[in-house]
Structure 1
């Protein structure tokens, strides 16, 4: 496995042989994912510590006679909790493009939704728009899949070049 960046990995492997004695086709696998520095458990402990600290400060001021601090502290904690929950839902998002056994498979996970697209690699066109921020577009007939949203523009171009090269090798 060759690491090409924080969230972009390419694996080229050769696993065993085919049943008919032919050498196996090379396997290309590109995994693109978010770079999250905190695990869900760590985010939970972080939120718990903020709740304890903020509640302690709010209770101190409420004890001093400024009761209006408590509802605002509650709103603050509610807003932070919603933001951390939204972040946590997308912490494990990824895109995987695999070229194995004569099929190009694009697997995408976003929150709790998974999509799986299979293409015949002989009919796939790889396009990269003129815009610096354009995603890599895979077209086959009327089907279109956009990938590379977790890559910076330079790595996105490198991914497109590697995919085109792998498709031409078939």
Structure 2
């Protein structure tokens, strides 16, 4: 019995594990600045004004790190398997890229080392997925994808 390809759909959503919201990050930075500049002010009062320069440099570096973190906090990979196609949607630093692969020509390369990503290729179009997954989750995702593509729902 053939299955209806239009109704069968599998989705995976891989995203960063961020423990702080942007508002919480801002509050944490404000508290760090308050504490650091209070300590620096104490040193300035006893004549060690150089500490203020290093405190300003330190808080600038921390601000740059927080901005980088905040910029990538909403990054994700959305993988949709439907209608004989594999759609990979990647968002990094607010920029979205979408890659569509045909299942009939799809080649899936399983990760061999813990740091390897899942490599997908179809008709000369290639994409690596699994950046936001741990190694065991990445391997499980690769096995799920392989099972779905090879003999599962989408080969009618």
Same fold by TM-score, threshold 0.5 exceeded?
yes
Aligned residue in 2 for 1:62: 44
CA distance in 1, matches of 2:6, 2:121: 26
> Is the CA contact 2:5–2:84 (under 8 Å) kept in the aligned structure 1?
no
Shift of 1:126: 1.1
Change (3 A) 1:136 1:23: closer
> Is the CA contact 2:101–2:125 (under 8 Å) kept in the aligned structure 1?
no
Aligned residue in 2 for 1:112: 94
Quote the RMSD (CA, aligned, Å): 1.5
Structure 2: gaps spanning 5 or more residues: none
Shift of 1:112: 2.3
CA distance in 2, matches of 1:164, 1:25: 20
Considering fraction of residues, name the structure with more helix: 2
CA distance in 1, matches of 2:7, 2:118: 24
SS of aligned partner of 2:7: coil
User: Using CA pairs below 8 Å that are at least 6 residues apart, which structure has the higher relative contact order?
Assistant: 2
Runs of 4+ in 1 over 4 A off after TM superposition: none
> Is the CA contact 2:6–2:82 (under 8 Å) kept in the aligned structure 1?
no
SS of aligned partner of 1:159: helix
Residue by residue over 1:8-44, the C-alpha shift from the partner in whole angstroms, topping out at 9 and shown as x without a partner, is: xxxxxxxxxxxxxx68522100011110000111001
> Is the CA contact 2:111–2:139 (under 8 Å) kept in the aligned structure 1?
no
> Is the CA contact 2:11–2:81 (under 8 Å) kept in the aligned structure 1?
yes
SS of aligned partner of 2:97: strand
Q: How many residues align?
A: 149
TM-score (norm 2): 0.90
SS of aligned partner of 1:160: helix
CA distance in 1, matches of 2:5, 2:48: 77
Structure 1: gaps spanning 5 or more residues: 1-21
Pairwise mapping of residues 80-119 of structure 1 onto structure 2 (< 5 A)? 80-119=62-101
Pairwise mapping of residues 115-126 of structure 1 onto structure 2 (< 5 A)? 115-126=97-108
Say if 2:112 is the partner of 1:130.
yes
